[in-house]
Amino acid sequence: MSALGRHILVEFFGCNPEIMNQVSTIENGMVTAAETAGATVINSTFHHFSPYGVSGVVVIQESHLAIHTWPEYQYAAVDLFTCGDEVNPWKSFDYLKKAFEATSYSALEMRRGSVDQLERIDFDLSTMRSEAKERQNPGKYTRNVWFTDKDDNQALSIRYTGEVLFDKQSDFQKVKVLDTYAYGKMLTIDNMIMCTEKDETHYHEMIAHPAMLTHGNAKNILVIGGGDGGTIRELLKHSSVEKVTMVEIDEAVVEASKLHLPQLSSAFGHEKLDLIIGDGIKFVEDAAAGSYDIIIVDGSDPVGPAEGLFTNKFYQDCNKALNDNGILVAQGESPMFNEQVFVELNHALKGVFGKEAVHCFTFSIPTYPTGIWSFQMATKGGAHPTKNFDADKSAAFAESNNLNYYNEGIHTAAFALPTFIKKKLNA
């Protein structure tokens, strides 16, 4: 043995960009590459970064394999380091070149720790051997695979099992379901967190119940978006409801929820639900005047198919489609994340419904960026979410339906805005 280790620095070019953005696929590939070379895998830790890019390392008994990808450049930088002569890093290289579908590469091998330049010393291993025995690889390595939702300045990472339960590229967006350790199953769209089993009630109870209990007797309701099913589940808990029409543009979201999120999708078979797969913006535009008691706009961030849900024209059409005592609720973004959109949406609603008819309210949700999110409510006919509010009715409803987040205290408190939010909205 002329050197302690073999170190190959690799650049893969022309890789499949879809593979370069799939953290679970890359993790599986790197682990298999290590095993193909004859290495013993101890641990793997991988992170996906939103909107794209993966970093990770596989710790092997003989050293490590590391990677970072740039899907937008079809490029991966890979580090293959093995100790001794028994593990051949070039076997890992050959495997990864095929797995990543690289069209070309650059590779440089270096010998690490030249034996001729080193002097070996003797030291007592007797006390270390018993400790090492307890730490031997039991035959199953530890996986640390992380999903990261981030922008240029902040990020949220959630560890998951590494398995992707649902993965479909629809005509509109990339829909996935992952199984996380802390939050249960998680729905993502275009690598942004939409909901998790553990905290989805925060969002869905708050988008539905404040409006329903402010109105008091809503019978005909329209939901735009909401393909996971959580919003319709909450609406259909109200006995006054006669019909809920839900218009979701992407059938893949509904499919993912039905297959893997039974907690959210339980109301899809309800007799009062009319599910339409189609363009919600066009549906509202064509709706007859005065058709609905409540319209709920349950869209994602203003990109892709949800972009049109943040325009003046859309909310003018919503205003027309509501009856004289109607209420609109829209997903309102975060006052600390998408600040500009948060303010612009509030001002747009005030321009359509009138300043005194628009009410912003907030709630906490740990898996959304910054942990604080908002809904915007616009009312017709003078209804007010705190002045026209029956606390006893709200308390009874929350208790009888075993709600997880919403109650009569949360209802009124949600509309009490911090000073910094008031300043943003009044600027």
The annotation status of 171 as a binding-site residue, yes or no, is: no
**CA 79/CA 15 separation, integer angstroms:** 16
The annotation status of 279 as a binding-site residue, yes or no, is: yes
64 is catalytic: no
68 is catalytic: yes
Report the candidate in 328, 329, 330, 326 with the shortest Cα–Cα distance to residue 380. 326
The annotation status of 299 as a binding-site residue, yes or no, is: no
Is residue 30 a contact partner of residue 36, using CB atoms and an 8 Å limit? no
298 is catalytic: yes
**CA 415/CA 381 separation, integer angstroms:** 19
The annotation status of 47 as a binding-site residue, yes or no, is: no
Give the long-range contacts of residues 150-159, CB within 8 A, separation 24 or more.
150/49, 150/50, 151/337, 151/369, 154/337, 154/369, 154/370, 155/49, 155/50, 156/193, 156/367, 156/369, 157/47, 158/182, 158/183, 158/186, 158/193, 158/196, 158/367
Catalytic choice (199, 250, 298, 301):
298
Catalytic choice (24, 48, 83, 301):
83
Catalytic choice (7, 47, 48, 68):
68
Residues 6+ apart with CB under 8 A from 119: none
Catalytic choice (24, 44, 50, 63):
63
User: Do β-strands 358-364 and 372-379 pair in parallel, antiparallel, or remain unpaired?
Assistant: antiparallel
The annotation status of 305 as a binding-site residue, yes or no, is: yes
**CA 387/CA 102 separation, integer angstroms:** 63
**377, amino acid identity:** M
The annotation status of 94 as a binding-site residue, yes or no, is: no
The annotation status of 204 as a binding-site residue, yes or no, is: yes
Catalytic residue positions? 63, 68, 83, 298
Residue ranges for the binding site for S-methyl-5'-thioadenosine?
A: 173, 248, 279-280, 305
Residue ranges for the binding site for spermidine?
A: 204, 228
Residue ranges for the binding site?
A: 173, 204, 228, 248, 279-280, 305
